[in-house]
A and B are shown apart, each in its own frame.
Chain A
Amino acid sequence: MAASKSNALNWFLHRITGTFLIFMLITHFWVQHYDHQVASVTHEVVTEKGQMPEYPEAAKEGVKARFGPDAEVTPYQVVMQRLADPVYAVLWKGFNILFLIVALHHGFYGLNNVMTDYIRNPMGRLVARSLSWTVALGLFIIGLYSVITAGW
């Protein structure tokens, strides 16, 4: 860890997490919102249930009304099955946990920069930084719990 007065390490990580976020966000959006064919769920899991999970008709109609007749959605069950899949679950849980860490660090380092731009009192800065990283830690614990328990 860098010396406390230096922000060199956090600045370096901000660059790294920013680069990671570009690829992770694209992957996340594609897999979570467009991969309705469940390419990332093994055949056994799908056939175990007998058929592909579906959104209720009303939800599908709503999506088609907004995005056109060819629009398709990724059902919630598909996301959950992916996280329960015997082959892919570890991959996607690992991906989501890494995504969570990267996004939280990137976002909260940025937030800290904004706060210390406007809070010039050293004690005020310390309080603001402590509070924000505490919130980040809380969100990390909630996210970690959600990802680990989902589907298992």
Chain B
Amino acid sequence: MNLNVEIKRYNPEEDEEPHWESYEVPADPLDSALSLLLHVKWHEDGTLSFRKSCAHGICGSDAMQINGENKLACSVLVQDIADGEGDTVTFAPLPSAPVIKDLVIDQSRFFEKYRDVKPWLITDGPAPEREREQSPEEHAMIEEASKCIMCGACTHACPSTWADPDYLGPAAMLKAYRYTFDTRDDGAEERLDVVDSPDGLWKCYTIFNCNEACPKDIDITRWLSALKRRAATSQASTNA
């Protein structure tokens, strides 16, 4: 079948504002959405820019807005975004982030927030001779959160991020959860200092857009709620 693919284009050297361009693209229902973009780039317009790397839902490079929803282009099938011949499929960059060109956003702010929550193991004592042990039950608490591939679909789907670009956002705070609840980690207080702030946890209003957007089906809101309870408990014990 042939699809009408509309892409939000923007070249800062030529365009004052982003604009939509349409392309007719042949597609199989079992193609990925990414293949539509590759067809445009290879056969229609080589100047089209977008990020992609592994194309298998691991690297998280090709998060973008497809038919108005934040998704990974490589993890979405044509049959899930188009009903048949002549249907329109739209591609736009992730909302609320500065656009560098076409579908490529500036991720520097996103990764600044990521680094702010200290997403690494913080330990007090000396390193053990062998690995740091963790029981399956202890690991189960952080297993789902560990699946995050930092694609940014959640953070850029969050209305709190749209309203306040300084808001840490679900991706960074999910990382904070992942390390704070890691039983091998001793840096909870340092991280809670970061997330328990005016631009942190309390701007999560459990809207659930992050859950909808996550290509790994992580129940982000659930884990952020656990982090909120931990922060509130920590505050209460500090002030007791």
Q: Is the CB of B160 within 8 A of A6?
A: no
Number of A-B pairs, beta carbon distance below 8 Å = 49
Tell me the residues in window 127-151 of chain A with beta carbons closer than 8 Å to chain B beta carbons. Answer: none
Q: How far is the CA of A120 from the CA of B228 in the complex (A)?
A: 22
Whether A5 lies near B228 (C-beta < 8 A) is no
B198 touches A5 (CB 8 A): yes
Would you call A118 an interface residue if the criterion is a C-beta within 8 Å of the partner chain's C-beta atoms?
A: yes
Write the chain A residue with the least CB distance to B162.
Answer: A117
Instruction: Using known A-B contacts A3-B239, A113-B205, A116-B198, determine if residue A8 contacts B160 with beta carbons closer than 8 Å.
Output: no
* Chain A to chain B contacts (Cβ below 8 Å), 30 pairs: A1-B239, A2-B235, A2-B236, A3-B235, A3-B238, A5-B197, A5-B198, A6-B196, A6-B231, A7-B196, A7-B202, A8-B202, A8-B228, A8-B231, A8-B232, A8-B234, A8-B235, A8-B236, A9-B232, A9-B235, A11-B201, A11-B202, A12-B232, A113-B202, A113-B203, A116-B203, A117-B160, A117-B203, A120-B164, A125-B198
Q: List residues of chain A with CB within 8 A of the CB of B238.
A: 3
Tell me whether B166 is interfacial, beta carbon within 8 Å.
Answer: yes
Residue numbers in B under 8 Å from A1 (CB-CB): 239
Q: Which 3 A-B pairs have the closest CB atoms?
A: A117-B163, A7-B202, A8-B235
B164 adjacent to A11 (CB under 8 Å): no
Q: Is the interface of A mostly helix, strand, loop or mixed?
A: helix
Report B201-238 residues with CB < 8 Å from chain A CB.
201-203, 205, 228, 231-232, 234-236, 238
The size class of the interface chain A forms with chain B is 10 to 19
Q: Please give, as numbers and ranges, the residues of chain A lying within 8 Å of B232 by CB-CB distance.
A: 8-9, 11-12
Task: Choose among A2, A10, A113, A125 the residue that contacts B239 (Cβ–Cβ < 8 A).
Answer: A2
Minimal Cβ-Cβ distance residue in B for A109: B202
Give chain B nearest CB distance to A14 CB in angstroms: 9
Interface residues of B (CB under 8 A from A): 160, 163-164, 166, 196-198, 201-203, 205, 228, 231-232, 234-236, 238-239
Q: Which residues of A contact B164 (CB under 8 A)?
A: 116-118, 120
A7–B160 CB distance below 8 A: no
Query: Within the assembled complex, what's the spacing in Å between the Cα atoms of A65 and B185?
Result: 68
> Using an 8 Å CB-CB cutoff, how does the interface string of A105-121 with B read, 1 for contact, 0 for none?
00000000100111010
What's the least CB distance linking A108 to chain B, in Å?
A: 15
Select B228's contact among A11, A116, A117, A118, beta carbons within 8 Å: A11
Looking at the complex, which one of B198, B205, B236 makes contact with A7 (CB distance below 8 Å)? B198
* Bound Cα distance from A9 to B197, whole angstroms: 12
Rounded to whole Å, the gap between the CB of A106 and the closest CB of chain B is 13
CB distance from B117 to the nearest CB of A (A): 16
Choose among A1, A2, A10, A125 the residue with the greatest number of B CB atoms under 10 Å from its CB: A2
